[in-house]
Chains A and B, each alone.
Chain A
């Protein structure tokens, strides 16, 4: 589904990613772990299409390069990023925005757009799975939401948009243990043979609830180790610095 080949990314001449390779097949859950500044967020930004990076190498999604596509085209193709720091957008009603977003994506996929009633029904059922209070849906997007509510709000959008590849950028930070379990349940319920997840995290805690098929360790812009879940546990014990000792 996603093939990253020799990805190098620079910001203002400084190399952040230094030749990264990653292969995610349909139905797989991958976790990327790494210390601060290792390039985790850069990677998720680049897959999503954020501007401002000098890039070489390639990112192939469903056999086509993503690099020429605009941010919204990538979203319409089924790539979703749950932001580490979701933005507060003043004056934009959460509910209306979700509907616009979902219908734009449905339209691009040639699916039938939802009318107000169909949309509300879907939204309510998805929000209740996340135990997300309906009152937030009529408020301005993320404005005045707590850290945990913002993160849940990201997962709610993921669940509405039903993407093929979901990237969760440190979704666990800011979530208490109950919220973490709920989020994990939703992710697990969305898991299917044609959907993939890329989970970016510092800690292995989240991986107790969402079981990854592969774990990669990202340090200094490169994946230095890949394997199964045991790597996450090893990291928890040794820390990043001593991983290879």
Chain B
């Protein structure tokens, strides 16, 4: 696999006339080669041994692909929300269909200039830095409130198979701007590995509501890394619904850099079969009077595995921090596994921080109660599970999108 990677890097290098930051890319590739895919010896990957997941799922992995896509794959469009549409195929913008006024205030482009500034240096980010062919950039003008939600369809071309796809997204919200973004993952079913990083910057008083929905079933492996930086008074709302893929690690690193900035990270892992998903968060309270809230709920069926690793870090300057984190899991079937690692690391003395984690089975008395009203066992269980998850959906502050998400998952 490593030989393949070296050859594919050469192919990539020869495929285009100019490749930006070639030296940096080579350097990043070297870093990756030194470490290889992370395995369970790496504390951050303790519960999700990517190295063995890859060897179990891929006999061969390609690292290069042509990002000039000719044919658009089939898309299941959302038709119940009036929205701006952005279609990405293999990590590159293929179609933009935006409201006229919104379009004038948002810059959207494919760029070959990569950003190498991500501080989290794990092997996958090195690999992403080395091989990403295209960066999708979305820049929202200051003082502009985007009217319609931006729905981003993440797709793969049909011929992409057993390939490791690297993509980068950069989203910048200017001062006092507002936007809603819904990410819909509809990748093909060809055993690909998607290694995606996004960098999201919120300038002063900006508001971003960002939703990620992995609903449709597929056999892909994904690593989705989000780095969010918040300036003074800005507000970030994040919601993850993680269900369809064979494996996903959602990693979120959020820097509350400006005073009074706040982040709300809510997520659902709704897993069955032998799917294995993880949510890992790190909230850095850097300035004072910052707020973070995390609610993660998990429903595990069959032989699925869920992982939540969440850390609230409070810098010594970040007095008056308000940090909250809670993870709950319903283990529906007995062969399921859930690993949780909640952590607080606090260097300031005037803070309010709490975390908690609960796990359990579906309460038999509750099932009895609902069945005594005529519902079958299956219906009763389903109702209890939906009710359990609904509490997270309730956290979505945009009513239109809340309704949509509710419909998607229930």
> Using a Cβ–Cβ cut-off of 8 Å, how many residues does chain B contribute to the interface with A?
23
Q: Please tell me if the beta carbons of B375 and A89 are within 8 angstroms of each other in the complex.
A: no
Contact bitstring B357-393, A, C-beta under 8 A = 1, else 0:
0000001111011111111110100011011111100
Residue of A83, A104, A108 near B369 (CB, 8 A) is A83
| Cα–Cα, bound, A48→B369 (Å) | 10
Q: Please tell me if the beta carbons of A50 and B368 are within 8 angstroms of each other in the complex.
A: yes
| Interface window among A69-77, A176-184, A187-195, A237-245 | A69-77
User: Min CB distance, B327 to chain A, in Å?
Assistant: 16
Q: Which residues of B contact A97 (CB under 8 A)?
A: 370, 373, 383
Contact bitstring A55-95, B, C-beta under 8 A = 1, else 0:
00000000000000011101110001101001101111000
Q: Please tell me if the beta carbons of B391 and A90 are within 8 angstroms of each other in the complex.
A: yes
Q: Please tell me if the beta carbons of A104 and B365 are within 8 angstroms of each other in the complex.
A: no
Is A159 part of the binding interface, using a Cβ–Cβ cutoff of 8 Å?
no
User: Min CB distance, A165 to chain B, in Å?
Assistant: 12
Residues 177-221 of A contacting B (Cβ, < 8 Å): none
Q: Please tell me if the beta carbons of B388 and A91 are within 8 angstroms of each other in the complex.
A: yes
Q: Please tell me if the beta carbons of B374 and A105 are within 8 angstroms of each other in the complex.
A: yes
Inter-chain residue pair count (beta carbon < 8 A): 74
Q: Which residues of B contact A48 (CB under 8 A)?
A: 368, 372
Residue of B369, B374, B389 near A87 (CB, 8 A) is B369
Q: Please tell me if the beta carbons of B374 and A92 are within 8 angstroms of each other in the complex.
A: no
Is A173 part of the binding interface, using a Cβ–Cβ cutoff of 8 Å?
no
| Cα–Cα, bound, A104→B375 (Å) | 7
Q: Which residue of B lies closest to A102 (CB)?
A: B374
| Cα–Cα, bound, A140→B384 (Å) | 11
- Decide: A91 near B390, CB < 8 A? Known: A72-B376, A97-B383, A101-B375: yes
Is A175 part of the binding interface, using a Cβ–Cβ cutoff of 8 Å?
no
Choose among B363, B366, B374 the residue with the greatest number of A CB atoms under 10 Å from its CB.
B374
Q: Which residue of B lies closest to A106 (CB)?
A: B374
Residue of A81, A92, A140 near B372 (CB, 8 A) is A81
Residue of B365, B372, B377, B388 near A90 (CB, 8 A) is B388
| Cα–Cα, bound, A100→B386 (Å) | 14
Q: Which residues of A contact B376 (CB under 8 A)?
A: 70, 72
Q: Which residues of B contact A108 (CB under 8 A)?
A: 374
Q: Which residue of B lies closest to A48 (CB)?
A: B372
User: Min CB distance, B391 to chain A, in Å?
Assistant: 6
Q: Please tell me if the beta carbons of B371 and A71 are within 8 angstroms of each other in the complex.
A: yes
Q: Please tell me if the beta carbons of A87 and B365 are within 8 angstroms of each other in the complex.
A: yes
Q: Please tell me if the beta carbons of A91 and B368 are within 8 angstroms of each other in the complex.
A: no
User: Min CB distance, A91 to chain B, in Å?
Assistant: 3
Is A49 part of the binding interface, using a Cβ–Cβ cutoff of 8 Å?
yes
Q: Which residues of B contact A89 (CB under 8 A)?
A: 366, 369-370, 383-384, 387
User: Min CB distance, A207 to chain B, in Å?
Assistant: 24
| Cα–Cα, bound, A173→B398 (Å) | 43
Q: Which residues of B contact A171 (CB under 8 A)?
A: none
User: Min CB distance, B394 to chain A, in Å?
Assistant: 8
Q: Please tell me if the beta carbons of B383 and A92 are within 8 angstroms of each other in the complex.
A: yes
Give 16 CB contacts A-B under 8 Å.
A48-B372, A49-B372, A70-B371, A70-B377, A72-B372, A72-B374, A75-B371, A75-B373, A75-B374, A81-B372, A89-B383, A89-B384, A89-B387, A91-B386, A92-B386, A97-B383
